[in-house]
Amino acid sequence: MSDHEDQIKRIKSQTQGQDQFHQAVDDVMEHVLPFVGDKQEYMDEKIVERLLTPDRVIEFRVTWRDDNKEIQTNRGFRVQYNNAIGPYKGGLRFHPSVTLDTFKFLAFEQTFKNALTGLPMGGGKGGSDFDPKGKSEAEVMRFCQAFMMELHKYIGPDHDIPAGDIGVGNREIGYLFGAYKQITGVHHGVLTGKNPAFGGSCIRKEATGYGCVYFLKDILEAHDDKLEGKRCAISGAGNVALYTAEKLIEEGASVITLSDSKGYICAKDGISEEQLAVIRTLKEEKRGRLSDLNEKGITYHDGKKPWQEEYDVAIPAATQNEVEIEDAKNIQDAGASVVCEAANMPLTAEATDFLREKDMTIAPAKAANAGGVVVSGLERTQNAQRLSWGCRKVDETLQRTMKDIHDICAEYGKSGDQIDYIKGANIGGFVSVADAMKAYGVI
Ligand code: NDP
Ligand code: 2IT
């Protein structure tokens, strides 16, 4: 066993139960270890060993009062994983299932994703086991204020800049930013994903989904293929799924499915623009369920995932490990040739291995969904400049950056006349972080 494998084994035994973190580490190290093996400078500097532990983990209590005047207590987290390239940057997730493991895996992934963007951003992630579902507006607001009462001590525009993720959208960012401003008295770019009315960037809301579609287009072009006419199955019906769907339809592809945690909808001939607008109102404004939808040509499938339909491209956009081995087999049977990971780590390790063996092109999350953090980076730039850019400038920069990320993946992932995007993203992200760490010496 090599030194590195020994270190990974040691870290895993010291962090038992953090299975998602281990899965993310294994995914990256599968490609990074052979790459660093013959590079003395990375070996001498013990870069891999240093990257196995976050810079710091912050865990705190959030106490607030619900509408019945009862006191509620939740757990809050911020994992500041690595700030070699720039201040910690990454979203906040509010979901009842989260643990420290969730945030460690997400912050580890974010470190390499942010490096791929070429923007000066380190990796972090945080959030709470608070469940916004079924809570009143006033409860969500009070929770966000209580959460920020503690979080504000650890963040800042040159230190750590959170944004949204599952359960944290425009509304929550508004409450969080309002609380930060009230506590500190300062109005600056400490959060991204803000409403454009008070410092947010045009296209940030759409950016992850749009970026995913731009990346998919780049992949298809590299394979002498095109997006127009492709049938796409999407899981999820949140921020990322909805704006992926919007851009796909705009580009002439068809969106066959969307899903939420209770079931999926299917439109054999594709969801129309008008139907998507209805779905957006249902999910974004009414916070309803897909089962409430009543649209011609759209069927609802309770308790099922969308992968058994027929399509060319699978786009998991809900959550981690949602595509299990049986789903991977369905994706293969569906006749798909590309899986574009819009969610973070949406495939189990087993599902990834199965699809790689079948020569499926997999666009890994740290490249394919980087569009969100790219526009977050541009929001920081605009805030620092005290300017607000036009939508076209942001969108063009997003498209160009997704193409640059594609080219980094192609450079480091070339294998014969194929591109291994997972390998390319892992090594490409690692090299940037490792080179910065090397320059700082032993700290
Ligand atoms: P949202 O909260 O807007 O939507 C999440 C969607 O995923 C909902 O449809 C939700 O269904 C579904 N979902 C969540 N958890 C589960 C679960 N455990 N099982 C099944 N379905 C689930 O989140 P986003 O769209 O922002 O995030 C989706 C994914 O994209 C996440 O992996 C996130 O980390 C990633 N991502 C997000 C970015 C962003 O800018 N927002 C940027 C890059 C990546 P239901 O409503 O029923 O819970
Ligand atoms: O996973 C992600 O990249 C995000 N949730 C967005 C992070 C950000 O800082 O915009």
DSSP strand pairing (71-82 vs 338-340): unpaired
Question: Could you tell me which of 26, 84, 82 has the C-alpha nearest to residue 54?
Answer: 82
Residues paired with residue 322 on neighbouring β-strands, in sequence order: none
Cβ atoms of 197 and 187 within 8 Å: the answer is no
Identified catalytic residue from 104, 125, 283, 366:
125
Residue indicated by tokens 């786009």: 315
Cβ atoms of 305 and 259 within 8 Å: the answer is yes
For the chain, domain boundaries: 52-189, 207-359
Judge whether 125 counts as a catalytic residue. yes
- pLDDT tens for the chain, 443 residues long, are 678 999 999 999 999 999 999 999 999 999 999 999 989 999 999 999 999 999 999 999 999 999 999 999 999 999 999 999 999 999 999 999 999 999 999 999 999 999 999 999 999 999 999 999 999 999 999 999 999 999 999 999 999 999 999 999 999 999 999 999 999 999 999 999 999 999 999 999 999 999 999 999 999 999 999 999 999 999 999 999 999 999 999 999 999 999 999 999 999 999 999 999 999 999 999 999 999 999 999 999 999 999 999 999 999 999 999 999 999 999 999 999 999 999 999 999 999 999 999 999 999 999 999 999 999 999 999 999 999 999 999 999 999 999 999 999 999 999 888 999 999 999 999 999 999 999 999 99
Residue nearest atom 9 in ligand 2 by C-alpha distance: 90
Q: Select 52-189's CATH number: 3.30.420.40, 3.40.50.10860, 3.10.450.50, 3.30.930.10.
A: 3.40.50.10860
Cβ atoms of 340 and 313 within 8 Å: the answer is yes
Mutate to test the pocket of ligand 2, among 117, 191, 376, 378 (most ligand atoms within 8 A of CB): 376
Question: Could you tell me which of 204, 167, 220 has the C-alpha nearest to residue 381?
Answer: 204
d(CA 68, CA 333): 51
| Domain 207-359 CATH class label | alpha beta
Question: What separation in Å is there between the alpha carbon of 13 and the centre of ligand 2?
Answer: 29
Cβ of 319 less than 6 Å from ligand 1: yes
* Cβ atoms within 10 Å of 59's Cβ, excluding its own: 12
CA 97 to ligand 1: nearest atom:
18
Secondary structure of residue 111 in the 3-state scheme: helix
List all residues 6 or more positions away from 165 whose beta carbon is below 8 Å from its beta carbon. Answer: 90, 91, 92, 93, 106, 125, 127
Cβ of 309 less than 6 Å from ligand 2: no
The two tokens of residue 25 are: 């580490």
Do 52-189 and 207-359 agree at the fold level?
yes
List all residues 6 or more positions away from 187 whose beta carbon is below 8 Å from its beta carbon. Answer: 181, 198, 199
d(CA 250, CA 267): 17
The two tokens of residue 44 are: 């001498």
Cβ of 316 less than 6 Å from ligand 1: no
Q: Going edge to edge, which strands form the sheet with 299-302?
A: 299-302, 263-266, 254-260, 231-235, 313-316, 338-340, 361-363
Cβ of 107 less than 6 Å from ligand 2: no
d(CA 27, CA 20): 11
Hey, what amino acid is at 325? I
Cβ of 162 less than 6 Å from ligand 1: no
d(CA 394, CA 186): 26
